[in-house]
Amino acid sequence: MNFDRLDFAALKAIGLKQPLIQQLASLGAPPGAALERVTEVQREHYLLHDGHGEWPARIHPTLWQALAADSDALVVGDWVLVLPDAQGGTRWIVQRVPPLNRLVRRDTRGARAPLVANIDWALLVMGLDSDYNLGRLERYLTWTQLVEVRALVVLTKADIAAEVEARVDACRARLPREVEVRAVNGLAAVTRELLAPWLAAGDTAVLLGSSGAGKSTLTNTLVGQLVQDTGAVRRGDERGQHTTTARTLYRLPGGACLIDTPGLRTLQLDAAEGAVAATFDDIVRLAPQCRFRDCRHVEEPGCRVRDAVAPERLKNYQKLLREARRDQLTVLDRRVQLATWKARSRAAKARMREKVGA
C-alpha cells in the first residue's frame, strides 16, 4: 500500500484509527487502490467516503464470494480498498481492511447477520413511553459488551412521557454503575450538547434500539438537518414503524460519525455461553460465594446470587444463557434434544390417559 497517496487527515476525520492503519499495512494492497469507508449499503450497491466526498461502488465478485464463504458481508463502517474500472466506469471494492470490531446478530433462521463495524460508541436508544423495556435494554448492552464497544443509554421522549424520573432511576439501578444514562428530548437542540461528550471528532457512534424508540428523530437533531423521515407510532400499542430502511453513516457538525440503523424487532445474540455470562460481572463475582459450586441460581439453598441480584436481571441472564446454549448445538444435538422432548410429551400424554381411565 502506497501510504504517500493517502490523505490521513481527511480519513481520520471519518473515523480512521491507528490500529486500522496497522491492519492496512499488513495487507497486500493492489497498486492504485484507494482507502475509503462504507457509509451506506443498498443490496449490491455501496456508498463510500474518501474523506472529501461520497462515491458509489460495487463489490468485486471475488471479494463477494470470499465473504459469502464465511457467511460474512460488507457493512456500514467497514474500511475497504477500491480500484477504478479500466474504462473509468464502475469503481470496484476489492479488499476489506480487517475490522477492529463488528456487531453481529443471529437472524430468524439462526444465521449470522453483521450490522455495523469499527464502532467507538453505541448509543442504546429506548423511549420512556411504552417502548420502555429494561430486559430488552439489558440485551442490547450485553450485545455491545461482547465486542467491547462502550455504551451510553439514551432515554428519549423525556418531554412527553410519564414517570420520567422513576423510570430513569429504575434504569440506573438495573444497569452496571459504569454505564451512564441520559434522558433527552430528541427534538431539542440542547440534546446535541448533552450527548457531545460521547460524540468526539473522529469517533464513530451507532444508534441501536427498537422501532419507534426515536432514533431517526435523534439522528435529525444531531446532524442538524432532516436526513431521516420520522413516523408516528401505532395507536394502541405505540409500537414504531420502520422509518429507517437502511444503515447509513452521517457526519456530525462536531466531527463525529453517526450510524443510524433500522429498528430491530428482536435481537438474537451471536455469542458463546461463556462470553454472555462474562458480561454479567455482578453475577460472576457473586457466584463463587454460593454454597454449591454448580449452583444454577434457581432454587438451590445458600445461593448468594439470588439473594443479591434483582429477580428480573437474573431471569434475563438465565434466558440469554439458554439462547447461547441453543445456538451452540450441532445438528445432531438438536435432533437428540427434539427426540427427548417428543418422548417426554408422549410420556406425559400417556400418564394423562391413565389418570382419565382410572
Q: In whole angstroms, how far apart are CA 120 and each of 116, 123, 204?
A: 11, 10, 5
Q: What are 197's three cell numbers? A: 461528550
State the residue for C-alpha cell 448468594. 304
Of 181, 179, 168, 173, residue with least CA distance to 310: 173
**What is the C-alpha separation between 188 and 156, in angstroms, rounded?**
11
Q: Hey, is 45 helix, strand or coil?
A: strand
Of 320, 324, 328, residue with least CA distance to 280: 320
Dihedral sign from CA coordinates of 60, 66, 69, 75? negative
pLDDT at 250: 95
pLDDT at 256: 97
Supply the pTM of this predicted model. Answer: 0.80
pLDDT at 11: 95
pLDDT at 355: 76
Of 24, 7, 152, 5, residue with least CA distance to 81: 24
pLDDT at 240: 45
Strand partners, 106: 112, 268
Q: In whole angstroms, how far apart are CA 294 and each of 38, 253, 280, 358?
A: 46, 53, 17, 41
Residue 245: φ, ψ to 5°? -110, -10
Q: What is the pLDDT of residues 256-301, one digit of tens each?
A: 999 998 877 677 777 778 878 888 888 888 999 998 888 889 888 9
pLDDT at 279: 82
Q: From first to last of its 358 residues, what are the pLDDT tens digits of the chain?
A: 666 678 999 999 999 999 999 888 888 888 889 999 999 998 788 999 999 999 999 999 999 999 999 889 999 999 999 998 777 678 999 999 999 999 998 876 777 889 999 999 999 999 999 999 999 999 899 999 989 999 999 999 999 999 999 999 999 998 988 999 999 999 999 999 999 999 999 999 999 999 888 999 999 999 988 777 665 554 444 444 445 557 899 999 999 999 998 877 677 777 778 878 888 888 888 999 998 888 889 888 999 999 888 888 898 888 888 887 876 644 454 555 556 657 777 777 777 777 776 5
Question: H or E element: which one contains 39?
Answer: strand 34-42
pLDDT at 157: 95
pLDDT at 185: 95
pLDDT at 193: 95
pLDDT at 89: 79
Q: What is the pLDDT of residues 302-318, one digit of tens each?
A: 999 998 888 888 988 88
State the residue for C-alpha cell 479488499. 95
pLDDT at 242: 44
